[in-house]
Structure 1
Amino acid sequence: MTKDGNNNRGAAESGVQRFYDGANILVTGATGFVGKALVEKLLRSCPGIETIFLLIRTKKGMSPKERLKELLDNGVFDRVRDSGALSKVVAIAGDVMDPGLGISESDKARLTSQVTIVFHSAATVKFNEKLQDAVKLNTMGTQAVIELCKDMAKLQAVVHVSTAYSNANRTHVDEKVYPPPASPIGVVECVKHLSPDLVEHLGEAIIAKDHPNTYTVTKAMAEALVSEEAENLPISIVRPSIVTGAWQEPFPGWVDNISGITGIMMEIGRGTIRSIICNEKYLVDIIPVDIVVDTLIVAAWQTANSRRNSVTVYNCTSGSLNPIYWHQLGKLTLKHSKTTPSKYLQWYPGFSFTTNRGLHNFRHLLQHELPAFLVDLLLRIKGSKPIMLKLCQRFSMAAKTGEFFALHEWKFTCENQKSLARDLNKEDQVLFNTDITKLSWDSYIHLFMHGIRKYVMKDTPETLPAAMRKLNRLLWFHRIGKMLMMLLAYKLIRTIRFR
């Protein structure tokens, strides 16, 4: 059996594949990072699937059908493009922010009569989202999906994609649903009936208690709603930590965005980030997207086969199973940014972590804003549009929104997560890898940095020799710059001393 699952099934038949035979699946959030990888994996490794319905909203003047075509044209689906599997994917016009998901009556009738498995992945992952929008997407959207699921005649499993940081106020997080920071129904009613300004004041009050942002608050409230329906629905919750590029599938290192830690690693590799607010002694809980996707697929199978009256929670995390610390991640990022540099290098890679905000602000001014200002000055002289200072400020804001997670550490229990691999036969353990313990962080970060270069920066292998030459030139400039700075500091000290 290959990872593709394209074989004639024999004695060692895949139980998970058999579960998905004839399945009609509804996926929300399919245009997101995890959503794309999930749809691709289902099509490739579960060939018996009947239909995958994707809830897609109109966006930027593009209809759901046009957005579906754009999605399926994405390179992530190249491994299944010639198999005819893409014809199984159907767009359902709707929006999780609309009442009843904005689905037409005819589409609702089709979904409620056919769908057997639901993956609810749609959410806003912006940490600084206004509470009103975060509640509509993360909490009310989940509520609407649950209501739709209640009408599904053939429903076997619902998997709600949450986050390991839905309980960011706790340092130890078990695989259970905790009391939310506020009543989900109460907050939903406030969003429906109060002015946006009053809702934002409410959000500030809730966050001030013990949560870092509206994202974690609204995901916690969504979990509470899911838990309340566990007696009525076969439902489970998967909590990924920080989702990063693919370990093996659909392609090693595959990633399609620069959100969060991916953007920071990219800019470290380009030499533009020199200082980061972070406690380097803490665990950084990152999890490859293909581990997350396989966990979702197997969780649905396990949920259907072991119906319980309480919700099963899977902490899809790495910290307690295969830990890596911030200082290790930093060193590996630097190491592999120098073995496969990009032609978009701005300076020789090098940075440091600090928890001292004053020191960080000084470094930020000297090593981030000043160089960006000088580059913009040169661009103005050449008659080009200045962009570097704006980019610098944008990445600074992005880093600031994630500071809470770099200055705190969590311990996640993973017994249910470990049970997924234990319950699989050997065939399924190959097809659906939920085990993070076999991953080597050194080789993985190499793949991830290469993936950022290839899939995000669109840098081709042909540019590598020129990029290596550029890296070596920048190394000399970097050394000369350090020597000049040391000489300047020496002269200043002598001047002050002998004055």
Structure 2
Amino acid sequence: MTKKSLKEDDIVSYTAAMTVHLNRFYQYNSNQIESIWNETDSITNFYKNSNIFITGGTGFVGKALVEKLLRSCPDIQSIYLLMRPKKGRSIEERLDELLKNPVFGRIKQENIDVFLKVKAVCGDITHVNLGINKKEVTILLDKIDIVFHSAATVKFNEDLKQALIYNTLGTKQVLEFCTKIKQLKSFVYVSTAFSNSIREYIEEDVYETPYDPDAIFHFIDELSKEAFDVLSKKLLGNHPNTYTLTKALGEKIVLKYSEKIPSAIVRPSINVFLVTASWREPYPGWVDSVSGITGIFMECGRGTIKSIMCNEKYKMDIIPVDIVVNTLICAAWHTVQSRSNSMRVYNCVSGQANPITWKEFKLLTQKYSRQYPSKYVTWYPGFTYRTSKTTHIVCATLFQIIPSVILDVYLCCVGKKPIMLKISKKFYDALLAGSHFSTNEWRFEDSTMRSLIKAVNAAPDGKYFETDIDDSNGFSWEEYVKNFNLGVRQYILKDDLSSLEQAKIKLNRLFWFQKIIQIVPIYILCRIAVPYLNQWIWEML
């Protein structure tokens, strides 16, 4: 039997058929490869089946972080929140209270069962193994994949010893715990953009500190309070407060441990003081804390703050809380998705991408506090920036402290509890404590933050994790300050828009009352001066 010879036409047909099959094979596998690539690149897929451990989950940023993870990463397995019993409430009671917060409103409407994933863990960041009992430690070390360390004391005037224990030693204890976790993918430390505020230009690097944190920990245990107070002045150096110093030392420890665990540092504008209401998520204007600039913003709207230590020409580096939260979530993903030989530091600020000056913010604040006044408005809104500390103290005393005393006297007379002086004193102290950040200006490098934004935008689900505050991305300070004002009104003052007409009537009365108050002294002065002026004119004639 003879073999048939291949004809030229057969060869052509065979080649064409093979080409079709290869093209189909290539197309199929390209789709598969693309699918695998997208799956790997996906932020939500990174969190699929993950067990997340969070410190500081009951704080302003912590609440927003928990909410965003639950809502946008639905395949998370569990979120463990480290908590302490507080003010007679157990951790279970505190968790129940946390989940009733308005920040979780959207989740309650969409999928309330997701709250079963949130679990409270009793512990304390200042203790070995975070003070967690042995049984839970074993479980957590086997399960945890991702850690967010947000817990800290954010008081500017905190005793240095206490600030070191919470912000620096606490960070070391968390990191030491992380070294024992069997499958840790990522550790993210929430620092502050002002941890190195002794510099005018702040790069996305961890700077050397004059003192070794471990040596300082030794002094904490060995020295008496009196002796440590003496040492504190030397340790503080040029730092404006204990918060910035202890966060800088915390960063140094994170850098050291980054050799053992995959780590990243996110530096938002000062946590609580300059981290402000949400831009978009979960609701425009959502805010939960009256600390720092939010409390000051609220009191400016109520008219009780009339003088602020500030240079109005400088940039105001505030950052919306949802931008911070998305940056934290994406930094954990970025650490794994795009590995680097060195630990990344992200300066999460607004001043580089979309700056606003203190003066511009003031004008918008006054505009919207008058357009959407609260029924709790006390004086007609309006305040002045001052760069002289002496002038500020005099004006604050005349226009804030003394009126508060008068109001308290009135409250006593009508049988109500006098609280105005206490409130006024609280914000007076806050203004002075934060004056360093409103009378100075910094430049921040943001190349690493920009690389994160680029990576997020390229991710298949990046649009759900907005990290860019640029105006080309739809961000508007005008709209933001309006929603900030409405958010303070709704979430802090618990005053919905049904009271707006009543509040406007009250505001109008306060406007004319203020005019009368301003005119009366001038009238009295004129009445006193006119006789002397007439006499002087007659003598001249």
Question: The TM-score by the shorter chain falls in which range?
Answer: over 0.9
SS at match of 2:436: helix
Please state if 1:36 is matched with 2:63: yes
Given that residues 227 and 310 in structure 1 are in contact (C-alpha distance below 8 angstroms), is that contact kept between their aligned partners in structure 2? no
Aligned to 1:101: 130
Aligned to 2:9: none
Change (3 A) 1:496 1:178: farther
SS at match of 1:80: helix
SS at match of 2:418: coil
Aligned to 2:28: none
Higher-Rg structure is: 2
Change (3 A) 1:279 1:121: same
* Distance (Å, rounded) in 1 between the aligned partners of 2:302 and 2:101: 26
Per-residue CA distance 1:440-460 (angstroms, 9 max, x = gap) = 101000000100000000002
Given that residues 132 and 199 in structure 1 are in contact (C-alpha distance below 8 angstroms), is that contact kept between their aligned partners in structure 2? yes
Per the normalisation by structure 2, the TM-score is 0.87
Aligned length: 490
What is the deviation of 1:313? Answer: 0.1
Given that residues 319 and 349 in structure 2 are in contact (C-alpha distance below 8 angstroms), is that contact kept between their aligned partners in structure 1? yes
Aligned to 1:3: none
Please state if 1:228 is matched with 2:261: no
Q: 2:470 corresponds to which letter in structure 1? A: T
* Distance (Å, rounded) in 2 between the aligned partners of 1:161 and 1:463: 38
What is the deviation of 1:396? Answer: 0.8
Match of 1:372 among 393, 398, 404: 404
Aligned to 1:460: 496
Q: 2:66 corresponds to which letter in structure 1? A: V
Given that residues 27 and 54 in structure 1 are in contact (C-alpha distance below 8 angstroms), is that contact kept between their aligned partners in structure 2? yes
Please state if 1:249 is matched with 2:270: no
Aligned to 1:391: 423
SS at match of 2:54: strand
Aligned to 1:451: 487
Q: 2:250 corresponds to which letter in structure 1? A: A
Match of 2:53 among 15, 26, 43: 26
Given that residues 191 and 247 in structure 2 are in contact (C-alpha distance below 8 angstroms), is that contact kept between their aligned partners in structure 1? yes
* Distance (Å, rounded) in 2 between the aligned partners of 1:495 and 1:430: 73
What is the deviation of 1:198? Answer: 2.0
Q: 1:352 corresponds to which letter in structure 2? A: T
Aligned to 2:119: 90
Per-residue CA distance 1:271-319 (angstroms, 9 max, x = gap) = 1111111111111100000000000000000001233342210000000
> Within 5 A, what are the aligned runs for 1:51-62?
51-62=78-89
Q: 2:421 corresponds to which letter in structure 1? A: L
- Aligned-residue Cα RMSD (Å) equals 1.8
Aligned to 1:6: none
Q: Which runs of 5+ in 2 are unaligned?
A: 1-34, 537-541
Please state if 1:487 is matched with 2:523: yes
Change (3 A) 1:491 1:176: farther
Given that residues 117 and 158 in structure 1 are in contact (C-alpha distance below 8 angstroms), is that contact kept between their aligned partners in structure 2? yes
Match of 1:63 among 87, 90, 113: 90
> Within 5 A, what are the aligned runs for 1:75-474?
75-81=102-108, 82-83=110-111, 84-207=113-236, 209-241=237-269, 242-424=274-456, 425=458, 427-438=460-471, 439-474=475-510
* Distance (Å, rounded) in 2 between the aligned partners of 1:19 and 1:429: 12
Per the normalisation by structure 1, the TM-score is 0.95
Given that residues 275 and 321 in structure 2 are in contact (C-alpha distance below 8 angstroms), is that contact kept between their aligned partners in structure 1? yes
What is the deviation of 1:485? Answer: 3.2
Per-residue CA distance 1:467-495 (angstroms, 9 max, x = gap) = 01111111111222222233345456667
SS at match of 1:91: strand
* Distance (Å, rounded) in 2 between the aligned partners of 1:151 and 1:369: 53
Given that residues 129 and 137 in structure 2 are in contact (C-alpha distance below 8 angstroms), is that contact kept between their aligned partners in structure 1? no
* Distance (Å, rounded) in 2 between the aligned partners of 1:297 and 1:201: 41
